[in-house]
Chains A and B, each alone.
Chain A
Amino acid sequence: MTDLPKSTEKKLGLVIDLDTCVGCHACVVSCKEWNTSNYGTALSDVDAYGAEPQGTFLNRVHSFEAQPESGGCSQTVHFPKSCLHCEDAPCVTVCPTGASYKREEDGIVLVNEDDCMGCGLCAWSCPYGARELDQIFGVMKKCTLCVDRIYNENIPEEDRVPSCVRTCPAGARHFGDLGDPDSDVSRLVAEREGMDLMPEMGTKPVNKYLPPRLKDVPSDAALEPKYKDAAGLFGWLDKALEKF
């Protein structure tokens, strides 16, 4: 039954640091690489080498420019977006076939592709655009939090995190149990005022975003010129060149 579990033992999820993300899209590529060859059907591409390539991705990086109202420097923020594994996930309850479900043990939201009929209603119900219907296989694809890595004892221990987290060269992505207040990720969220996306939708996302630190105002940030009147050898050179 596609009811949501009343509570989950763990709340596994991601914490994404918007201050650190450099927008390199490495997480997008590594996600596609891992997930196209593991859980469920492949992530298909259409016209991959043609004029209008498109395909299924579970993670995408948008880039925004924020302009402070007071004027001053605008800030470029790279914004990776994938399934937030919501506690109150609307994509689960709308599913008519029971394919979409949230796991009681760790809170991961998954699609059982053997049951999915490709109606797309779960994608309609998701405010974040985190689900994509695969155009070739006709089933709904979404972030699995690399469920086939994080518990996988056949791979080295340091690899048992989602592919995007493992690959991020900037260290902008963190993985852990957000249900445990003492976990590293929970402490990070507390310290850095981690935030929910679209809280007004009432989905209670598990994934959190760490806001970028505010930039200096240009006049505060500029360095004072260090030497007004040069002395010694440079002073003599300065005067000599001035006369020349």
Chain B
Amino acid sequence: MHPAPSVIIFTMFSGLGFGLLAYLGLGLPPVAGWVAFGFFTLGYTLAVGGLLASVGHLANPKNAIKAFSQWRSSWLSREGVMAVASLLVMAVYAIALIFFDIRLRMVGLLGAVLCIGTVFTTSMIYTQLKTVPRWHDWTTPPVFLLHALGGGALLAGQVRMAGIFLAMLGFLMVWAWIKGDEKGLSGTTLESATGLGRIGKLRLLEPPHSGQNYLLKEMAYDVGRKHAFKLRIIALVLGYALPAALLLLLPVGHVLALVIVIAHVAGVAAGRWLFFAEAAHVQRLYYGK
């Protein structure tokens, strides 16, 4: 699949933002006043910035408002509804906490649940697609959730929790990569795609068109995969292993925390690029790919 910057930024930063907001809703850290203002600003900037980036992926954004209508059938619509609900509930909690020094515990708890729910709906947009076997797997939702829980804890200064979640994520990510490689196209072949397997082995003789098209650009992406293994190592070390080790083994001050956050974001960016670039869509078979 085409690793569009808009969807990489969207999934990465909205995940981090909603993760941070979830911790703040639970009173972790127990901030108030202007410090709380700073934390909530960061959380909202990441969450809303990510969502705005996703609008950049739309070819006809004037109809984006209609995406809230189909929550009964569509995961993308559910995500939109959940995102807005989380941001509104958390806004009530944040305003009470910052300006009135009142901690509305139940509202915060509800907001936290909605934030995590939003990340789950994001993951389901990808998990639901049978056409991309690498995504259509039980590992996809926990990978997204652990990114939000680990990255969110890191931003919220929850050192031990961040270390534990990121360590878990590292192991799960390696498992998901290996499993995704083994799955390939999950048994779908050019022979099953055309029904012509009854004659014999197939090859593409002539493609339907000599130039590019939307299908090739969007769903038959194969640029830069030769560095996939190196990028996996970068994602694993910078995104999960190094942060987890530093968080769990060293006393973490503000400077070290900043280094860990930068490493984590860089690693996750590499990993999220791979999430799209390595995902193979079955329709590419028709193009002999």
Contacts and interface: CB of A to CB of B under 8 A. Distances in A.
| A pairs with B | yes
Contacts of B196: 18, 64, 66, 77, 79, 211-212
A209 B103 CA distance: 64
Contacts of A61: 208
A130 to B, nearest CB: 8
Given A1-B72, A64-B196, A202-B130, A120 B201 contact: no
A64 B205 contact: yes
A93 B74 contact: yes
A60 B286 CA distance: 11
A36 to B, nearest CB: 15
Sorting the interface of chain A by its residue count into under 10, 10 to 19, 20 to 34 or 35 or more gives: 35 or more
A132 B219 CA distance: 11
Interface stretch (A50-58, A164-172, A181-189, A222-230): A50-58
Given A53-B211, A65-B203, A66-B199, A200 B74 contact: no
A156 interface: no
Sorting the interface of chain B by its residue count into under 10, 10 to 19, 20 to 34 or 35 or more gives: 35 or more
Nearest to B281: A124
Contact of B209 (A60, A125, A138, A200): A60
A195 B281 CA distance: 22
B195 interface: yes
Interface stretch (B63-71, B151-159, B174-182, B259-267): B63-71
Nearest to B125: A121
A96 interface: yes
Contact of B202 (A66, A138, A199): A66
Nearest to B204: A64
Given A66-B201, A124-B219, A196-B195, A81 B76 contact: no
Interface stretch (B54-62, B89-97, B111-119): B54-62
Interface string A192-215: 000111111110000001011010
Given A117-B61, A211-B198, A64 B214 contact: no
B282 interface: yes
Contacts of A77: 194, 196, 199
B9 interface: no
A243 B67 CA distance: 90
Interface in A106-143: 114-121, 123-129, 132-135, 137-139
B289 to A, nearest CB: 11
Contacts of B128: 94, 125
Contact of A124 (B1, B203, B287): B1
Contact of B218 (A93, A123, A199): A123
Contact of A198 (B203, B218, B282): B282
A38 interface: no
Specify which of B1, B125, B194 lies most central, judged by the most chain A CB atoms within 10 Å of its CB: B194
A134 B215 CA distance: 11
Given A65-B205, A132-B214, A116 B130 contact: no
A interface majority secondary structure:
loop
B52 interface: no
A65 B201 CA distance: 8
Given A60-B208, A119-B76, A129-B283, A201 B130 contact: yes
A152 interface: no
Contact of A67 (B193, B200, B287): B200
Specify which of A65, A66, A138, A202 lies most central, judged by the most chain B CB atoms within 10 Å of its CB: A66
B208 A198 contact: no
A119 B214 contact: no
A95 interface: yes
B150 to A, nearest CB: 27
Contact of A95 (B74, B193, B282): B74
A20 interface: no
Nearest to A121: B76
Q: Which 3 A-B pairs have the closest CB atoms?
A: A118-B59, A138-B59, A129-B283
Interface of B: 1, 57-64, 66-70, 72-77, 80, 125, 128-132, 186-188, 190, 192-196, 198-209, 211-215, 218-219, 281-283, 286-287
20 contacts: A2-B73, A54-B213, A62-B204, A62-B206, A67-B203, A77-B196, A79-B196, A94-B74, A94-B75, A94-B76, A97-B70, A117-B58, A117-B66, A138-B58, A197-B193, A197-B194, A198-B188, A198-B192, A200-B188, A201-B282
Given A63-B206, A124-B219, A127-B193, 10 more contacts: A23-B206, A64-B190, A79-B196, A96-B80, A119-B67, A120-B59, A125-B128, A129-B286, A138-B60, A197-B194
